[in-house]
Amino acid sequence: MSHHDERTFVMVKPDGVQRNLTGEVITRLEERGLKLVAAKFMQIDEDLAQQHYGEHEDKPFFDDLVEFITSGPVMAMVWEGADATRQVRRMMGATDPAEAAPGTIRGDYGLDLSQNVIHGSDHEDEGANEREIELFFDEDELVDYARADEPWVYE
Ligand code: RTP
Ligand code: MG
């Protein structure tokens, strides 16, 4: 990991998995030059969902959010790259797909505020990326490797 790289937590939500968009999301992140360092296809239980979305526990939509994110399997991942957290958020687009720009993942595939395909750590929430990575992955599940194209992608 070079000095300007950071890691961010990304998840294809249950709607994205059901709609066969897992590969599309991975392809977009790969083609953008981000590097995959961990992936886990898994079912989130209620306890993990409540921790992951803990910042929203007082919001009226919290119970629906927990129910939705536990409604089917997700693809949880860690991606690495320069300014990765913010870059992924830009690629995701606005939370509400109706407001998300065309060309963004939510703008192209999102259906509604719940079924918005993808989660990414909030770049405006300091340390959210590291907290979420720790919540979903053990240290030894983060794969340390060099990729052949690393020198030219960011230079
Ligand atoms: P996410 O955490 O899932 O990546 O989404 P986000 O940062 O773009 O949006 P956030 O404010 O963190 O909200 C988390 C998820 O809660 C649902 N939501 N519902 N009914 C509502 O007003 C409302 N607001 C947010 C969305 O599914 C959003 O992705
Ligand atoms: Mg969020």
Complex ipTM, two decimals?
A: 0.97
pLDDT at position 151 is 59
Beta sheet of 74-82, edge-to-edge order: 35-42, 74-82, 5-12, 118-120
The CATH number given to whatever domain includes residue 137 is 3.30.70.141
State if residue 18 touches ligand 1 by the CB under 6 angstroms criterion: no
Whether residue 2 is predicted with pLDDT greater than 70 in this model: the reply is no
Average pLDDT of the chain is 94
Question: Is position 51 within any domain?
Answer: yes
What domain range is 135 assigned to? Answer: 5-141
All residues at 6 or more sequence positions from 135 whose CB lies less than 8 Å from its CB, including other chains = 48, 51, 52
Q: pLDDT tens, 29-52?
A: 999 999 999 999 999 999 999 999
Whether residue 126 is predicted with pLDDT greater than 90 in this model: the reply is yes
Q: How many domains would you assign to the chain? A: 1
Question: Is position 153 within any domain?
Answer: no
Q: pLDDT tens, 73-116?
A: 999 999 999 999 999 999 999 999 999 999 999 999 999 999 99
Whether residue 123 lies in the annotated active site = no
Question: Is position 133 within any domain?
Answer: yes
Q: From CA 131, how far away is CA 42, in angstroms rounded? A: 18
Tell me if residue 47 falls in helix, strand or coil.
helix
Beta carbons of 143 and 40 less than 8 angstroms apart: no
Percent of the chain whose pLDDT exceeds 90: 90
All residues at 6 or more sequence positions from 127 whose CB lies less than 8 Å from its CB, including other chains = none
- Mutate which of 65, 112, 117 to test ligand 1's pocket (most atoms within 8 Å of Cβ)? 65
pLDDT at position 155 is 47
pTM for the predicted model, two decimal places: 0.94
Among candidate residues 98, 112, 109, 78, the one with its CA nearest the CA of residue 8: 78
